[in-house]
Amino acid sequence: MHRTRIKICGLTRPEDVAAVAAAGADAIGFVFYPKSPRHVTPEQAAKLIESMPPFITATGLFVNAAPEEVAETVRVSRVTLLQFHGDETAEQCAAAAHAANTRYVRAFRVKPDTTPDELLEYDRICRASSPLYSGLLFDTWVDAYGGAGKVFDWSLIPKDLAPRAVLSGGLSVHNATGAVAQVRPYAVDISSGVEASKGIKDPDRIAAFVRAVREADAIL
């Protein structure tokens, strides 16, 4: 049985980290973008990571940050995976990841007119630019950088990319089963769909989302 990995993004509080661990999710995300309502400092993330049990991946999300800032944030926070969610070029993602000596996923914000060929080509460029590149995270294009709770047309994701892809954008307990069944991604990523309010997660929604993904895994 395929086990879809689950990342819960935008954590700011130790009780939410505990809820993610209790629910059995695989990864958490810290937003280091200062304009986000879910922003945490590297020091806050370090404290939250200290409270985590082993085998949960701590991801640091960046928007257009300079390589030195990414490297320093990784050093202080100890996140072990990067997520570039801004307008960085493939080369800029690679340079920042190399400065931090840390693997990364690249967010691609899908528009209604994005084509599967464009996604394949983008993945090829990222792959060629760095051995630290570990796959694409698909989110929905909105006129802001993310965590907006909007769904895109999942049929645009090429079948060849799904086994390494992270699917995000407007996921919730209501569409999780359909998303996993249709796309069969490596992982899913959710933020606003498990929130009580921005930056404040709801433990019951986290648990329900993880259950929905596991139920989808069981029937595939």
Ligand X SMILES: O=C(O)c1ccccc1NCC(=O)[C@H](O)[C@H](O)COP(=O)(O)O
Q: Say whether residue 38 binds ligand X (CB under 6 A).
A: yes
129 touches ligand X (CB under 6 A): no
**Among 68-76, 128-136, 184-192, 205-213, the segment contacting ligand X (CB under 6 A):** 184-192
Question: Least separation, in Å, of the C-beta of 216 and ligand X?
Answer: 17
Catalytic residue positions, numbered: 9, 139
In this structure, the strands spanning 57-62 and 27-31 are parallel
Contact between 195 and 182 under an 8 Å Cβ cutoff? The reply is no
Q: How far apart are CA 87 and CA 107, in angstroms?
A: 9
Q: Which amino acid is located at 46 in the chain? A: A
Residue with tokens 């059995």: 24
DSSP-assigned beta bridge partners for residue 201: 195
**Which residue's entry shows tokens 């069944």?**
181
24, 33, 52, 200: residue in contact with ligand X (rule CB under 6 A): 33
Which residue carries 């960085």 as its tokens?
88
Distance CA 5, CA 24 (A): 10
Minimum Å distance from CB 27 to ligand X? 11
- Does the footprint of ligand X cover residue 16 (CB under 6 A)? no
Interface with ligand X by CB under 6 A: which range of 33-41, 74-82, 95-103, 117-125? 33-41
Judge residue 116's burial from the number of C-beta atoms within 10 Å of its C-beta, 0-12 exposed, 13-18 middle, 19 or more buried.
middle
| Single residue of 19, 74, 79, 171 touching ligand X by CB under 6 A | 171
Choose between 128 and 204: whose C-beta lies nearer to ligand X: 204
25 sits near ligand X (criterion: CB under 6 A) = no
3-class DSSP state of 74: helix
**Shorter beta-carbon distance to ligand X: residue 6 or 71:** 6
d(CA 117, CA 68): 33
In the chain the first and final C-alpha atoms are separated, in Å, by: 7
Binding to ligand X (CB under 6 A): which residues in 144-163?
145-149
Assess contact for 144 and 36: CB atoms under 8 A.
Answer: no
The nearer residue to ligand X, 117 or 180, going by C-beta atoms, is: 180
Q: Establish if 139 lies at the interface with ligand X (CB under 6 A).
A: yes
With CB under 6 A as the contact rule, the residue among 104, 191, 205, 214 that binds ligand X is: 191
Instruction: Decide whether 109 or 128 has the Cβ nearer to ligand X.
Output: 109
Q: Is 61 in the site for ligand X (CB under 6 A)?
A: yes
- Count of Cβ atoms closer than 10 Å to residue 53 Cβ: 9
Residues that bind ligand X (CB under 6 A): 9-10, 31, 33, 36, 38, 61, 63, 85, 139, 145-149, 168-171, 189-193
